[in-house]
Amino acid sequence: MLSLKLGISRVIIPTVRNVSRFVSVRPQQIWLKHSCISPSLPVKVSPCTRYFSISSFRYQENREQKPNPSSTKRKSDRKRRTVIEDEHQPSSSPQWEVVAYSTAEEYDLKKLMQGLQQQGLYHPSSMSEDIHDVLHVSARYQVDREPREIYFFREGSVVFWNVSELERKNVLLFLKICEDESYDKDIVAEGNEKMVYAYTEVFNKTRLMNGRILLNDEGSTDLEKYTFSNALALSVKLATWEASLEKYVDSIEFVVEDLKEVGRIQLSRSDVLKKQGELFSLRHLINLSSDLLDTPDFYWDRENLETLYHKTCNHLNISKRTKVMNEKLNHCVELVELLSRQLTDAHHTRLEWMIIALITVEVGFEVVHLFHM
């Protein structure tokens, strides 16, 4: 029996070796000849194949697989829902940017007007008679059908409509000569506001929808643009004051640490008075010198513009931000008043000790005088 197995192995092993050697030379031709797969299908055979195996002759699967009906239905449903949600928004229509900056406490509009006229790149546009402290200019040279417009507010804010970034930088550099108390570059860069605007024919009415400005496609939109610009200018001005308040809070943070750890105040009376002056100056700007707490008089007899103004302010969270700033200011006022009281008490205590010392010296002289008598 053992001899029979050895004989069979001697016959089979050379045969298998010959077949594997033959297959390793022409595996693809054998597969195409003796398989039921069409020769037109791509067959992938590794050039390093040396042994016959079914895995060597697996054809490549067609990448364009048949879509799953359920997944196709879900995708179409998602697209349909998106169209329904955006059916009133001109997503396919062209849109442009509105960018606002606040670069200084105040602009000299007369000097700015003279400089722009000398350059000859912008011409002033007419505004309503009851609009004051605003300079509206348009570019003389058009790049596309949409005009490039700029609104300069005397309070130190500028709003660009459809103006490229390079042109905005050049205008901001030009503004330096007309600025009073310029802000730092970091504050200007962090406090800018951007919005997108387009034209619509759906309701034939200018409105603010989902953070996008939709202008009426018919008629003039100068007053509407001014309304949106007014709200944006107020927002960026508030952003600069927020940055100033954060800087002020950082400057007095060490005082709280000293009170907690050392129990003493490291500031002098003059330093505390300066801090009080900075604080009340900022408080005056926010609550008295701006329109953060009130609606400008321009909108009192223009209900449509007043609605746009309030919607834009609500979108920019101006009321909430103003409320938060006033709460922070109240906390800072309490802290500075505490410092002032502590320093005043320390000053009074020092005066009392000086008076006691003088009385002691006088009593000493009287005692010496008595002994010498």
The DSSP-derived string for 73-127 is HHHHHHHHHHHHHTTTS-TTS-EEEEEEEE-EEEE-HHHHHHHHHHHTSEEE---
Packing angle, helices 318-372 and 269-287, rounded to 10: 150
Instruction: Give the pLDDT score at 152.
Output: 96
Candidates 157, 129, 301; CA nearest to 235 is 157
**Residues sharing a CB contact under 8 Å with residue 214, sequence separation 6 or more, in sequence order:** 89, 90, 197, 198, 199, 200, 206, 207, 208
Among 104, 105, 101, 107, residue whose Cα is nearest residue 289: 105
At residue 140, the 3 state secondary structure works out as: coil
Name the pLDDT band for 317 (thresholds 50, 70, 90): very high
Tokens of 120: 């000859």
What confidence tens digit (pLDDT) does each residue in 47-94 have?
443 333 333 333 334 444 444 433 333 333 333 222 223 334 445 578
Which residue in the block uniquely carries the two structure tokens 């834009």? 312
Q: How many CB atoms lie within 10 A of CB 47?
A: 4
DSSP-H helix ranges across the chain? 2-25, 27-34, 69-85, 109-119, 165-175, 185-190, 222-251, 253-261, 269-287, 303-315, 318-372
| Residues 100 and 232 sit within 8 Å (Cβ to Cβ) | yes
- % of the chain at pLDDT higher than 70: 72
Please give the structure tokens belonging to residue 198.
Answer: 């387009």
Q: Enter the tokens of residue 156.
A: 């130190």
> How does pLDDT run across 259-301, given as a tens digit for each residue?
777 767 777 777 788 888 888 888 888 888 777 878 888 888 8
Residue 191: both structure tokens together: 């406090």
Please give the average per-residue pLDDT across 131-150, as a whole number: 89
Tokens of 295: 């609606």
| CA angle centred on 104, ends 98 and 105, rounded to 5° | 115
101-132 pLDDT per residue, tens: 999 999 999 999 999 888 889 988 888 888 88
Which of these, 238, 222, 201, lies nearest to 318 by C-alpha position?
Answer: 238
pTM beyond 0.75: the answer is no
Residue pair 212/77 in contact (Cβ under 8 Å)? The answer is no
Structure tokens at 268: 């002098």
| Listed residue (353, 339, 324) closest to 242, CA to CA | 324
Q: Which positions ≥6 away from 236 have C-beta within 8 Å?
A: 100, 101, 102, 157, 191, 192, 193
For 162-194, the pLDDT digits (tens) are: 999 999 999 999 999 999 989 988 888 888 999
- Phi first, then psi, for residue 67 (nearest 5°) are -70, 150
Question: Could you tell me the pLDDT band of residue 373, with boundaries at 50, 70 and 90?
Answer: low
| Residue from 65, 44, 67, 74 nearest 56 by CA | 44
Q: Is the pLDDT of residue 208 over 70?
A: yes
The full set of domain ranges for the chain reads: 96-220
Residues of the chain above pLDDT 90, percent: 29
Average pLDDT over the chain, rounded to an integer: 75
Q: What pLDDT, on a 0 to 100 scale, did the predictor assign at position 39?
A: 44
pLDDT, one tens digit per residue, over 225-255 is: 999 999 999 999 999 999 989 888 888 888 7
The pLDDT of residue 372 is above 80: no
